[in-house]
Structure 1
Amino acid sequence: MQKQYENDKIVQEVIDCIKAIRKSKNITLEAFYFDTGIHIARIEQGKTNITVKTLSTICDYLEISLVDFFKKAEEIKADKLNNQN
């Protein structure tokens, strides 16, 4: 079996974006799991490396397109960089 490729920086950017959008919509971890069956807490803690399919399901639930999700992730990344300077 081929080893799964993982880029910690990208994974963290995805996690930060998921968490920010979820919190902005006031969705609890419990509600997210109840509605989707996805253990979002494990994803947000970096314990699970998600697939594109899972990310798509998460985006559908959060009512954001994948394109807009990655735009938002870039905004969050830029904000973090600006806050460090």
Structure 2
Amino acid sequence: MASELHETIFTAKQERHKNLFLNYRNLNIFPGELLKDEGLQFLERLYMKRNSLTILPDNLAQKLPNLIELTTVSFVAYCCSSQCLQMFDLQS
């Protein structure tokens, strides 16, 4: 599963995807690979439904400046320090 996740993120960086689907991956920590280098600065939507995340990185808004939608059901609330995040979906 880890190599599949790595390949998905690598492809998204190389092809400059605006949407990234990481739903149903059994993630219990936010993939640090998403925040490495400048490869995903163009990402607008990150879908992470049905994972077991309990915390988001403090630098999420800084590293993903174009992110306007983050979809997950793992959190009760999340405050983005940047105005970039327009929608945070807590629905399943």
TM-score (structure 2 length as normaliser): 0.25
**Larger RCO: 1 or 2 (CA < 8 Å, sep 6+):** 1
Higher strand share: 2
Higher helix proportion (structure 1 or 2):
1
